[in-house]
Amino acid sequence: MAFEELKESISEAEASAKSYIDSSTEFYKLKAFKLLMKGVTGFAQAAFIGTAVVLSLLFLSVAAGFGLVLN
């Protein structure tokens, strides 16, 4: 009887430990995905702003060139 109760409690502890490990790995996978997506969106935002700045400088330089030619 005591051995059966001990065996049951060991199997319950094993199941609890497996459940904890599974949920911990899922948590860290989600955390890594969140950090990765923050990096990707930050890079995309910087690329978009950089492209907008380059295009605006291009248009300003063309406008300045036309302004110098017409004067």
Q: How many CB atoms sit inside 10 A of residue 3's CB?
A: 7
Q: Report pLDDT digits (tens) over 36-54.
A: 999 999 999 999 999 999 9
pLDDT at residue 2, as a whole number: 75
Percent of the chain with pLDDT over 70: 99
Rounded-to-10 torsion of CA 56, 57, 62, 63: 70
For the whole model, what pTM was predicted? 0.66
Give percent above pLDDT 90 in the chain: 77
